[in-house]
Structure 1
Amino acid sequence: MSYRIAAPDEYLAITGMNIKNVLITKAAWVWPFQRCTRFSVQPHDYAMNLQAMTKEKLQFLLPVVFTIGPDVNARGANSRFGNEPHTGEHAHDEDRGDALMKYAMLLADSSEKDKGAQYLENIVKGIIEGETRVLVSSMTMEEIFTEREEFKRRIFRNIQGELDQFGLKIYNANVKELKDAAGSTYFQSLSQKAHEGATNQARIDVADAQLRGNVGEADRRGQQERQIAKINAETAVQKTDRDIERAAAEANLATQKTNLNRDVDIARIQATRATESRDEDLKKDVEVKRHHRP
């Protein structure tokens, strides 16, 4: 009898006396007529370049990378025993729904076939390839493109459904961009079409921008010219009004000067005549007095 402890990334698979199927635990006493096997639960990356065919018989390559490993969280009755010896009284509690038990049974099968990790990889890649091809064959290329996220979710769901029977879980899935298969130019044509469309649209955008710029410039120039013409017209009107006002003022001044000169002349004439009239009166007085002298 010996006490076995698993490493942090390991579990122990114990079989033999008083164990109906397999006991999965982190630590346990291993009794005589029992066998203890360590197995790692580290996930592995499975990269594939799948060749698939759509509903319209269009072939393409689908690069995928799945990170898959034992589902350490889906434990059944096995997880209750801990370090207790798995005696007959607990044998009926063994739970074949335990993911790690399923995984341990898969490893045991591969060990018997002496294929090890390659055996597990072939099973996983076979499931990924088979489920992906089945799903793609039921969809059109347009559906794959327009419903890209739904396509990824369906691949994930279908593959996970098959992996469940082996106690495996998808920890990460990366579905990359679709590529042309040998002899196909579908995606190349799409890319070229998209590029030409983007180039043409860019040219249209540039032409539209130039048109808007030219129209805007002409509009601003026209507005400027109209504004200048309006200002010039208003200035001319104001100048005319000032000239009229100045001419009226000058005419009024000339009239006033004429009237003043006339009044001055009239006053001078009247003064001259008054003077002459007094002179005549004085002369008459002198003559009258001369005639009346004794």
Structure 2
Amino acid sequence: MFGYRVPAPDEAMLISGGRRGLKGAPFRVVTGHGKFVLPIFRKTRFLTLAMREAEVTESCVTRQGIVLTVRAVIAFKVGNDTESIVNAGQRFLSEQEQMSVLTGRIFSGHLRSIIGSMTVEEIVTERQKLATEVLETSKAEMSKIGLIVDSLQIQSIDDGDTGYIEAMSAPHKAAIQRQAKIAEAQATQASVEAQQEAARNQAEYERQTAIVEAEYKAEVDRVQAQSAQAGPLADAHAQQEVLAAQTELAERAAQLRQQELVAEVVKPAEADAQRIKTLALAEAERMKIQAEAAASHDRVALDQLLIDQLPQIVKEAASGLSQANVNVLNGADGLGEVAAGLVSQGLTILDTVKQNLGTPAATGPASPAPRAPHDDDGTVPIR
């Protein structure tokens, strides 16, 4: 709108003409809002409130008489209150760039004054103390011209060619270098120890890995060996079982053959030998009877007849024995007992015949000669 003016956020609008401002100032101050200004009758000017910078490079003499070149940077601005704006506007409104020049000069004077009361060691080691003292001494003077200082930084301190600062720092440099070398040596030692520890760990890991691999390989080889031996072992066990079965079968066949030989050869041979023995005994008995008959005068003829018949009787008995199913319970001794029984039966028959002949003949037919007792199945029992 025509005649309506608005200042920027970092500006103060100064309106001159008409009523006076604060404390008789020749202008009114407007910040943060607009204002209707009558053309021709009112005049509007703007004062910056933005941050400004001033650099100071000053040669100062310390309390020790040593010349130092100090470089500092001051950050300042116009105060936000109306009084500061009025003070700054009355001094710098037409030439606002002069604020930096005047601020630098003010700080140069205070900087020379404060450094002159300090030693080089204090200035070098206590820069913040120097900056604080400079700010405190310049605050009142800066506020009179409407400026406030936000910060003061001492950027550098140089003693030129005197070498004082360097000499002052030599022990510290030596100590720092010594500490640096110690730290470097410690770092190198720590690095070497770390490398050695890493190498030991790597070696231990490789050893453990080799052990595990060897155990795995041994286990695999053992399983493979067992697997490879399983077939031959199974075949060997099978062959062993077959041989055992064949051996058992052969033993049983041998036992059976032995029994067959006993039944086919031994027993018939023993029976034949016993028969021959029985015949021999009978023959001997016959000869004995013949001898007794020769000595007897009464019954020579009858005894001769009986003697002649006795071998036939015994032969018949022996023939019956050969055809009978004889159960021999105790081997050759049993066969001897059988033969002795036959001879005894033959002699018994002979005695019976003799007794019958010595007694008067009975009426009726003569009784048949007694036979040797047999079992129902035709076998002759052993008594």
The two structures have a TM-score, normalised by structure 1, of 0.52
Change (3 A) 1:270 1:147: same
1:211 matches 2:192: yes
Residues 1-294 of structure 1: pairs in structure 2 closer than 5 A: 23-26=25-28, 46-54=54-62, 59-66=67-74, 71=79, 73=81, 75=83, 100=86, 104=90, 124-139=103-118, 141=120, 144=123, 147-164=126-143, 166-185=144-163, 193=173, 204=185, 207=188, 210-231=191-212, 234=215, 261=243, 264-265=246-247, 267-283=249-265, 292=319
The one-letter amino acid paired with 1:161 is A
* Counterparts of 2:96 and 2:157, CA distance in 1: 29
The one-letter amino acid paired with 1:184 is T
* Unaligned stretches of 5+ residues in structure 2: 1-6, 18-22, 30-43, 276-317, 324-383
Provide the secondary structure at the position in 2 that maps to 1:226.
helix
Alpha-carbon displacement from aligned partner over 1:192-240 (angstroms, at most 9, x marks no partner)? 9499689858955863574255224312222223313542674588589
Alpha-carbon displacement from aligned partner over 1:150-208 (angstroms, at most 9, x marks no partner)? 543332222122333x3341355452421313223456675994996898589558635
Greater C-alpha Rg: 2
Q: Report the CA distance between 1:26 and its aligned residue.
A: 3.5
Equivalent position of 2:311 in the other structure: none
Query: Retained in 2: the 8 A contact 1:22–1:101?
Result: no
Where relative contact order (Cα < 8 A, 6+ residues apart) is larger, the structure is 1
Change (3 A) 1:156 1:255: same
Change (3 A) 1:160 1:237: same
Q: Report the CA distance between 1:278 and its aligned residue.
A: 1.0
What is the alpha-carbon root mean square deviation over aligned residues? 5.9
% identical aligned pairs: 14
Provide the secondary structure at the position in 1 that maps to 2:155.
coil
* Unaligned stretches of 5+ residues in structure 1: 1-6, 15-20, 28-37, 76-97, 108-115
Query: Retained in 2: the 8 A contact 1:60–1:178?
Result: no
Change (3 A) 1:264 1:124: closer
Alpha-carbon displacement from aligned partner over 1:124-147 (angstroms, at most 9, x marks no partner)? 545312322333344555555555
Equivalent position of 1:82 in the other structure: none
Change (3 A) 1:174 1:133: same
Alpha-carbon displacement from aligned partner over 1:69-115 (angstroms, at most 9, x marks no partner)? 6656252xxxxxxxxxxxxxxxxxxxxxx7845985x79xxxxxxxx
The two structures have a TM-score, normalised by structure 2, of 0.42
* Counterparts of 2:98 and 2:219, CA distance in 1: 103
Change (3 A) 1:186 1:199: farther
Query: Retained in 2: the 8 A contact 1:50–1:63?
Result: yes
* Counterparts of 2:55 and 2:110, CA distance in 1: 15
* Counterparts of 1:118 and 1:284, CA distance in 2: 158
